[in-house]
A and B are shown apart, each in its own frame.
Chain A
Amino acid sequence: MEPSLFSKPRDLFVDVVNPKDYVQIDSVSHIYQSLKNSVQKPLKMILLYGRPGTGKSMLLHKLHHDLSKHQKVYMIDIPIIDEDDFLRVLAQKTYSYASREPLSLTKFLELSAAVNFPIIPIVLLDEAQLYSSALMEKIRLISDARALKFVITLHKTDNEEIIAKEHFQTRIWESIELHNASYEELKIYIQKKLLKANCFDVANMINDNNIKLINKLTRGNYRDANKLMFALFTLYTWYEEHNPHKIKYNALSKKYIEMAAIHTGLIRA
């Protein structure tokens, strides 16, 4: 069977986090730069927060990918919420200290004092809302002792935004917020993704009204945009195979976008 024009674009929008697929968007690059700068400051803990699907994990993985060329960085993307386990795994990752026993904080700090890296290693914690306050306090103490530096991501709701900001504005935290994409950013995101993969024909089909509709439906949320585009190109591949005369190649069809939105639940119908 002839490869479909739309199957490649479809696969571009699978919702996975891979730093290789990172798309440079101005505001995000800006954030990324300040993130990289903050990482060099001693004692600060860095909090990356924002609503679900705003690209926190993506940014964290990108940071991991880039920093690991120059210094020790460790990613914990599966939250380890058992406190004893957490220190044990951390010691194993950072100091190659293998132990089956639970590790106390004192012991952990002793270990780190004995190692003494030239640059403080960085630990990246994704999904930090799952950690308990007691564990967060330990993490803070480790950071205070300059044993490790932490960058954490946290997703949260509208209501909590204010509370969190208040709390994290204490001196130890440097907090950075990620937002949904604006219309322009969403346009850049979609276009760049397609162009990077040489899907020029499809990229040319997308006009400003298409983007407006997509932006309206997804409210600029990257994850929702991915889901919508994936469903949309799945639809197109189907029509291409079964009903090719229905496809118009001069623009994306509003109807198909809406159908995709219904399928992904962005429109309730």
Chain B
Amino acid sequence: MLDITNLERRWFKYKLKRIFPYGLLVTLILVLGLSIPLIFSKGSPAPIDSLPKNSIKTAISTPVETTNEESSMILQPSMQFIQSMGAVPETDTTVPDTTLLGSSKNSVTSNTVKLPPVEASSSQSQNVKVPIAPTIKAPLPLVKGKLTSIKRDDVAFDIHEIEDRFKNNSNPNLGLYIAHYHYDHGNYAEAYNYALKTNAINSSMDDSWLIFAKSLVKLGKEDQAKKTLQLYISNSNSQNAKNYLETLTKETSK
């Protein structure tokens, strides 16, 4: 549930923070306004009005900037896929890609304010260069005849990215996918956790319940696994679950 009082407090702080720069600006202008007559009386009129304008600009541009950063933070994953698509024989995307990216980035930044992009663009170009290297090292085996022997070792994607996405979108399919992934990699506790989360989001996915039960078995909690399965069967009448429960009981009775 929502913690309303806490939320109200945070909102209040947020408002204060937003008002603060403008408050500062106003006091600055006030101070300057008060000091004008003083300076004026000493006889140097010119440089005054250039000062406050600058300060206005910076004060306004800071909040905008941070939101931009946020948007690029959210949109990170899946380089792996494109990169692997790039490795498909018929096109040699690697070289033109970098140039394309570079040029487009330039055009964007030149349209916007002159200020910050040095850091940002350098980190982006790193983003581009680093992942492309591995595709060159391991070009796609040409696809003829013995396709079945190709293993998916080129799927070295970052499971954490997917986990983050799951956290964000609570898509049960992703949850199940992650649970599978961990199970396949022997991380049964993680598999258990993700299957549990997935079940909470969508309680009618056979696979998820099976992974959940299987993880429990791997964690040495067969009894709990059986109980869970029975519970699920009574709700869903799932044949898959029944089959698995059967094999489980057989195995343990041996």
Contacts and interface: CB of A to CB of B under 8 A. Distances in A.
Interface stretch (B77-85, B214-222, B226-234): B77-85
A137 B82 contact: no
Contacts of B96: 166
30 contacts: A52-B74, A52-B75, A52-B169, A104-B148, A133-B154, A134-B143, A135-B152, A136-B85, A137-B88, A137-B143, A138-B143, A138-B147, A154-B78, A157-B75, A157-B76, A157-B77, A157-B78, A158-B71, A158-B75, A159-B128, A163-B101, A164-B82, A166-B93, A167-B86, A223-B169, A238-B2, A262-B7, A267-B14, A268-B70, A269-B14
B65 interface: no
A166 B97 contact: yes
Q: Which A-B residue pairs are the 9 nearest by beta carbons?
A: A133-B84, A269-B14, A129-B81, A129-B78, A157-B75, A134-B150, A78-B173, A132-B155, A163-B97
B207 interface: yes
A156 B76 CA distance: 7
A230 to B, nearest CB: 11
A167 B147 CA distance: 23
A160 B152 contact: no
Interface stretch (A23-31, A32-40, A80-88, A112-120): A80-88
Given A84-B148, A159-B128, A134 B154 contact: yes
Contacts of B101: 159, 162-163
B88 to A, nearest CB: 6
Interface string B159-180: 0001001001111011011000
Given A127-B174, A130-B157, A137-B88, A238 B93 contact: no
B177 A130 contact: yes
Interface residues on B, range: 35 or more
B86 A53 contact: no
B91 A82 contact: no
A78 B93 CA distance: 29
A129 B77 contact: yes
A128 B174 CA distance: 12
A150 to B, nearest CB: 14
B150 A219 contact: no
Interface in A197-238: 219, 223, 231, 234-235, 238
A263 interface: yes
B166 to A, nearest CB: 11
Nearest to B82: A160
Interface string A1-19: 0000000000000010100
A131 interface: yes
Interface string B4-42: 100110110111010000000000000000000000000
Nearest to B78: A129
Interface in A91-122: 102, 104-105
B119 interface: no
A167 B85 contact: yes
